Amino acid sequence: MSETTRRRFLAATAGVTLSAGLVASPAVAQSKGQSDETDLSSWFDDVEGVTEIVDARGQPSVDVTVGAQGKGGAFAFDPAAVRVDPETTVVWTRTGDGGTHNVVAKDGSFESEYYESSGETFETTLDTDGVVRYACAPHETMGMNGALVVGDTVASLGGSDPTRTTDAADTPTTPTETFDGWLSNTDNYHELVDRRGESEVVVEVGTQGNGGQYAFDPPAVHVDPGTTVIWEWVGDLTYDVADPELGYHSEQVAGRGHRFAVKFDGHGLSTYDCTEYGGQGMRGVIVVGSGPTKRLSPLGYTVVGGGALLFGGPLAYGVREHFRNVTTSVG
């Protein structure tokens, strides 16, 4: 069911590009499955292609790839689930794809730095039997999770079946909400990702999708008022981020690690794209607070830049009204 909503938007004059060194590291999202249960099915529920716990016992060291293909881009560990002997050295090696990754244990036993370059490594040695769940902090909500099963600890990927496989129920369905068709041709859009509760949210620019490095990831995000959205370049082409109706527009530039940030406030909706590849499906949506409503609803955004992230009030505001259609799902 479609309904036209009329809203007022408060907009700052422009967003400001941030250098890589000025952006704080994303907060670790609330984890799932932090208990010591040996059933890992819930931990790997959002992880593609994990059909077994790879048995690497008998090896003095085990390599795990960081930034392997998964979730429509380079957002996976390979192997994601591996069994090792106590005292085995586990080495994580970056592919250089998928933007910034790290490795952080959910029990706090180890945590790497944030890495971007190919070949960078992090290693640890676990000396007692048990199960350690770990994730890439910036991409845990996407399902970039892994697990180490140490020694003879009994663990499985679902009930008594140690080789849980993906069935038809796990296959993403076509979303019924496309925001008046804005995301209808965006092939990596499967759902509105809920990132409420986080003060900063990272959206990657130039991930795999729409026939190449032509995607934002995640393409649709729900945030709280006051959240800063940071777009980070991970692809090899020239990109920008623009919402002409709201009036913010990044530089059009190539270069991994480039960042552009906007702090949103109020309640409303921003539909943006990459001006060069938007027609190919490189589009995104930010839903702020309660989002589109039947009444006039203010949505502000603040320039974020300078010597540090600015979390104060708007630097400059202009006011204008416009119309935008949105498609809403009715259950």
Each residue's pLDDT, cut to its tens digit, for the chain (331 residues) gives 333 222 223 233 234 333 332 232 233 333 333 344 468 988 998 888 888 899 999 999 999 999 988 887 889 999 999 999 999 999 999 998 888 999 999 999 999 999 888 899 999 999 999 999 999 998 988 889 999 999 989 988 874 344 333 333 343 445 667 888 899 999 989 888 888 888 899 999 999 888 889 999 999 999 888 889 999 999 999 999 999 888 889 999 999 999 999 888 878 889 999 999 999 999 999 988 877 643 444 556 554 543 333 333 332 222 222 223 332 222 3
What does 187-222 look like in DSSP terms, one character per residue?
A: TT--S-EE-TT-SEEEEEEEEEETTEEEEEESSEEE
How many structural domains is the chain composed of? 2
Distance CA(142)–CA(71), nearest Å, equals 7
Identify whether 150 is part of a domain: yes
Distance CA(308)–CA(300), nearest Å, equals 20
> Is the domain of 13 the same as that of 97?
no
> Is the domain of 315 the same as that of 282?
yes
Distance CA(103)–CA(3), nearest Å, equals 44
> Is the domain of 177 the same as that of 154?
no
Q: Structure tokens of 10? A: 């408060």
Question: 14 CB contacts (<8 Å, ≥6 apart)?
Answer: 247, 248, 249, 303
| No. of helices (H) and no. of strands (E), the chain | 0, 25
Residue pair 72/208 in contact (Cβ under 8 Å)? The answer is yes
**On the CB side of 151, how many CA atoms lie within 13 Å of its CA?**
10
Residue pair 86/121 in contact (Cβ under 8 Å)? The answer is no
Partners of 286 in beta bridges: 221, 270
> Is the domain of 189 the same as that of 154?
no
* Identity at 127, one-letter amino acid code: D
> Is the domain of 194 the same as that of 293?
yes
The parent domain of residue 20 ranges over 2-25+172-327
Q: Centre a 10 Å sphere on the Cβ of residue 283 and count the other Cβ atoms it contains.
A: 25
> Is the domain of 195 the same as that of 297?
yes
Instruction: Choose the final residue of a domain: 158, 189, 212.
Output: 158
Choose among 166, 176, 257, 277: nearest CA to 220.
176
pLDDT at 177: 79
> Is the domain of 194 the same as that of 108?
no
Identify whether 241 is part of a domain: yes
Choose among 54, 41, 104: nearest CA to 83.
54
pLDDT at 158: 72
> Is the domain of 13 the same as that of 96?
no
Find the CATH number of the domain harbouring 177: 2.60.40.420
Distance CA(54)–CA(255), nearest Å, equals 36
Instruction: Choose the final residue of a domain: 130, 158, 186.
Output: 158
Distance CA(82)–CA(93), nearest Å, equals 15
At 170, phi and psi to the nearest 5? Answer: -85, -10
Distance CA(106)–CA(265), nearest Å, equals 31
> Is the domain of 197 the same as that of 67?
no
| Dihedral, CA of residue 305, residue 311, residue 317 and residue 322, to nearest 10 | 100
Identify whether 46 is part of a domain: no
125: part of which helix (H) or strand (E)? Answer: strand 121-125
* Identity at 82, one-letter amino acid code: V
At 31, phi and psi to the nearest 5? Answer: -85, 165
> Is the domain of 196 the same as that of 87?
no
Q: How do 242-243 and 248-249 pair as beta strands? A: antiparallel
Identify whether 42 is part of a domain: no
> Is the domain of 115 the same as that of 87?
yes
* Identity at 225, one-letter amino acid code: P
Identify the residue whose tokens are 């527009």. 249
Residue pair 139/115 in contact (Cβ under 8 Å)? The answer is no
> Is the domain of 178 the same as that of 301?
yes
